[in-house]
Amino acid sequence: MTNAVKQGAYYTGQYRNLFAEYGYSEADIAAKLQHTWDALFGDDETTKIYYELDEDKGYLLDTGNHDVRSEGMSYGMMMAVQYDRQDIFDKLWNWTYSFMYMTEGIHKGYFAWSCQPDGTRNAQGPAPDGEEFFAMALFFASKRWGDREAPYNYSEQAKDLLRTCLHQQPPGFPMWNPENKLIKFVPEVEFSDPSYHLPNFYELFALWAHEEDRTFWKEAAQASRDYINISCHPVTGLAPEYAHYDGTPNHIRGFGYFFSDAYRVAANIGLDYAWFGVDARQQDIANRILAFFADKEPDDYRRYTIEGKPFEEKSLHPVGLLATNAQAALAASDEQLAKAAVELLWNTPPRTGDRRYYDNCLYIFAILALSGNYRIYA
């Protein structure tokens, strides 16, 4: 099921720069990286998603839903640590810790998934994709910049968060199923979201979490790689937004199709292969996804069944979709498909308008990954 040769950057120390491999100059790549950061974190109101509440707090705004999400805050912290911007990281973490962290009730120790920009909570429940990104970004911050006083004791915050995720006690619920080692869509349910599965993160949690939890995380990495394989369609490579533990689509609330959440599966496959390179099945999945979209124009991306049947409904986030497809090129073995996907991203600017938040989050991660700058800090 896996390659005998471990070829990812974790083992080799070398991060692939697909932009350079496909002929773009180092100067142009550096400019693309800076322009992308400036678009999201600068002053251009047509592309920016980062705002500040006061001198020590900042947030990423979901510009389509006009709220602040744990997804976006954790993404922003990962962006900041990858770009070596501790100032922005600390403002995001301070906002998160001040307003989202829940100190009582069944979700004690988790982060509320949605707040208003002033910090007022819209929800009292968490979304596990936020928690896993918070933990990984905090570990990287600790490795890159060192720990300080609470709440900037990054590594301890990460370890304690992961302990809560695994050991939340009744009447609360853990975020991972303890038997099958799979992440849940939300703690109270027993099904998953394929795009939540980040085996490359779990490999590192297995090194840095509290010692008693490290075996679990190592097993979770393999469980998630297996789950990704069974939830991606054998012809198209598409995964549903929600899936049962056996990988089949879960159509509750109409989320059993390939749509916005599911775009991230391609990106996750690409980054896991770039960092660890231990699962040859990911190459095949990436090839299938890129082949499915090879004859489709971004303006005509749609909601699809995982078998590839299109709906009338168009994609809400076409830039995000082409960005995640491009990131899958890190795993693809078909060079022609990979190069076409990367070139499409290169020639596409960050998104403007009300829906730009999700697209531009996925866009900046793809730019980092494809330039060899989405890195492990250890």
Contact 363, 41 (CB under 8 A): no
Residue with tokens 């330039």: 371
DSSP E strands: which ranges in 203-346?
302-304, 310-314
Query: What residue has token string 């690409």?
Result: 270
Angle between helices 128-145 and 70-82 (to 10 degrees): 20
| Assigned token pair, 38 | 């400036």
Calpha distance 40→74 (Å, rounded): 15
CA angle (219 as vertex; 218, 223 as ends), nearest 5: 125
* Integer CA distances (angstroms), 322 to 115, 253, 305, 360, 365, in order: 28, 26, 18, 11, 12
Spatial distance between the Cα atoms of 46 and 198, rounded to a whole number of angstroms: 31
Measured CA angle at 312 (ends 311, 316), to 5 deg? 90
Q: Is 4 exposed, middle or buried (0-12, 13-18, 19+ CB in 10 A)?
A: exposed
Residue indicated by tokens 């998630």: 224
The two beta strands, 114-115 and 302-304, are: unpaired
Rounded CA separation 321/348 (Å)? 12
The answer to whether the CB of 38 falls within 8 A of the CB of 44 is yes
Active site amino acids? 71, 261
